[in-house]
Amino acid sequence: MNPNTVKTEKLTDAFQLFNELSLNLSDSYQELQKQVASLSQELALARTERLKSLIEKEKLADRLQQILAALPAAVVVLNGKSQVVDCNAIAINYLGEPLIGQNWSDVVKRSLISVFDNPHERQLRNGKRVSLTTNVLNNESGQIVLLSDVSELRSLQDTVNQQKHLSAMGEMVASMAHQVRTPLSTAILYASQMNKLSVSDGSRIKFSNKILERLHFLERQVNDMLIFAKEGRLAMDSFSLQQFLIAVEENMHDCSQQGDINFSIDNHVNVDLMLGNEDALLGAVMNLLNNAVEAFDGQGEISLTLRQKDQAVLQIQIQDNGIGIDDEIKQRLFEPFYTTKVKGTGLGLAVVDSVVRAHSGSIKCQSRKGKGTLFTLQLPCINQYITTFSEDGCQSMENYL
């Protein structure tokens, strides 16, 4: 074969291969252009969606910021170290500056004053009362503290309570004449007999005891009326729990001697220092114990048990195995002037309830007919807790709430 022919064929083949490669390259380039165009379109679309999302988030953040600023309450945001990282203008108005970056316990000590009558409220330095609530942030180690002004609500509630109390006081005044006149007339009658020469010394002693009994009854009635008239406003001071129990035991000694009654005190509280009104608490406990004594017809057992609950709460339980209380009577147990006793005023348990509420506590009754009665008092009056609360700030607040 002619060498030139061979070269020509090789060149023809090479040129044909080059054309095929060129076509393939051209097709690949066109395909690449299509992919670039598609990706550019997708990127532009994604950028548009991202911009829309950012715009919506900015609008939402702005809206939330406006809502936060318009809230009629102070909002404080704490991080995991209990430091203030954000707040609204009302929070600065309530708590003062500096606030951002401050430890919450320091802010509590500086700007919030504990109030005895409500553990969930605080008093600001300007005298306003605010309710305090906390919530843990989701997916974050932090908290939101909300302070709401309840001064007006408290004032309205006080007005309503005062009106109710005045109404109850009117009932008390109406019944007071009869309640005082009957024992007073009896005492006058016995006193008039003591002046007669024909009365023996034994009778004089008997009359003297009767007069003293009536006067003690009058004293209890007057004390109940005075405590009820104070509407739970009692002066609080520190006192010894041990001395309190000694006074209870002394007061119960005479009652235990009068009948076949076994009285026991079981104290599981290690703290001795309390904060409250000792006389009012003693009167309330003795009122419940006297009711328990009257629930017996002869032999019976009464126990007074004390425990410490939730670090600060003193729990007092008074239990008897007496006749018990009907469900119908139990529902009205703490109503003023409601009584099933012939000589009762109906103020005894109302006074107990008033004293317990004055100590920011609670009282409940469990009883079954013929199975005895259990009264449980929960009183946040352990003095150790109140001192810890004012010093610890945030930590103690979390325990309480």
Full DSSP string of 203-232: HHHHHHHHHHHHHHHHHHHHHHHHHHHTTT
The verdict on 132 and 179 lying in the same domain is no
Residue with tokens 């309570």: 161
Give me the chain's average pLDDT, please.
Answer: 77
pLDDT tens per residue, range 46-105: 888 888 888 877 777 677 666 666 677 888 888 888 898 888 888 888 888 888 889 998
CATH of the domain at 81: 3.30.450.20
The answer on pLDDT for 261 being more than 90 is no
Mean pLDDT, rounded, for 106-129: 81
CB 292 within 8 A of CB 318: yes
Rounded to an integer, what distance in angstroms lies between the CA atom of residue 123 and that of residue 22? 87
The verdict on 269 and 401 lying in the same domain is yes
Better-predicted residue by pLDDT, 277 or 118: 277
Question: What pLDDT sits at residue 307?
Answer: 93
Better-predicted residue by pLDDT, 396 or 38: 38
The verdict on 253 and 375 lying in the same domain is yes
Question: What pLDDT sits at residue 176?
Answer: 57
pLDDT band at 394 (very low <50, low <70, confident <90, very high): very low
Mean pLDDT, rounded, for 137-150: 80
The verdict on 245 and 112 lying in the same domain is no
The verdict on 220 and 367 lying in the same domain is no
**Boundary-marking domain end, from 82, 114, 149:** 149
The answer on pLDDT for 395 being more than 50 is no
Domain extent, residue 76, equals 71-149
Identify residue 157 by its one-letter amino acid code. Answer: Q
The verdict on 192 and 162 lying in the same domain is yes
| Per-residue CA distances from 5 to 13, 15, 16, 143, 341 (Å) | 12, 15, 16, 92, 140
Rounded to an integer, what distance in angstroms lies between the CA atom of residue 349 and that of residue 331? 12
pLDDT tens per residue, range 4-33: 777 777 778 777 887 888 888 888 888 888
CATH of the domain at 202: 1.10.287
The phi, psi pair for 365, rounded to 5°, reads -120, 130
The verdict on 266 and 389 lying in the same domain is yes
| CA-CA-CA-CA dihedral for 222, 224, 225, 230, to nearest 10 | 130
Question: What pLDDT sits at residue 246?
Answer: 92
The phi, psi pair for 123, rounded to 5°, reads -115, 130
Mean pLDDT, rounded, for 185-206: 78
| CA-CA-CA-CA dihedral for 341, 342, 345, 347, to nearest 10 | 0
Tally of domains within the chain:
4
Which tokens go with 211?
A: 């007069």
**Boundary-marking domain end, from 231, 256, 282:** 231
The verdict on 352 and 381 lying in the same domain is yes
R_g of the chain, CA atoms, integer Å: 40
**Boundary-marking domain end, from 149, 173, 189:** 149
Mapping DSSP to helix (H, G, I), strand (E, B) and coil, where does residue 146 land?
A: strand
Q: What is the largest CA-CA distance in the chain?
A: 177
CB 286 within 8 A of CB 223: no
pLDDT tens per residue, range 314-354: 999 999 888 887 777 777 676 665 565 545 555 668 778 88
CATH of the domain at 338: 3.30.565.10
pLDDT band at 267 (very low <50, low <70, confident <90, very high): very high
Rounded to an integer, what distance in angstroms lies between the CA atom of residue 397 and that of residue 73? 19
pLDDT band at 400 (very low <50, low <70, confident <90, very high): very low
Rounded to an integer, what distance in angstroms lies between the CA atom of residue 252 and that of residue 299? 15
CB atoms within 10 A of CB 208: 13
pLDDT band at 392 (very low <50, low <70, confident <90, very high): very low
pLDDT band at 223 (very low <50, low <70, confident <90, very high): low
The verdict on 47 and 188 lying in the same domain is no
Mean pLDDT, rounded, for 100-117: 84
pLDDT band at 255 (very low <50, low <70, confident <90, very high): low
The verdict on 242 and 347 lying in the same domain is yes
pLDDT band at 181 (very low <50, low <70, confident <90, very high): low
Mapping DSSP to helix (H, G, I), strand (E, B) and coil, where does residue 80 land?
A: coil
The verdict on 123 and 198 lying in the same domain is no
Question: Which residues lie closer than 8 Å to 81 by C-beta, 6 or more apart?
Answer: 103
Question: What pLDDT sits at residue 242?
Answer: 93
Strand segments, DSSP code E, in 90-245 are 112-114, 121-124, 129-136, 143-149, 237-240
Mean pLDDT, rounded, for 29-49: 85
The verdict on 76 and 218 lying in the same domain is no
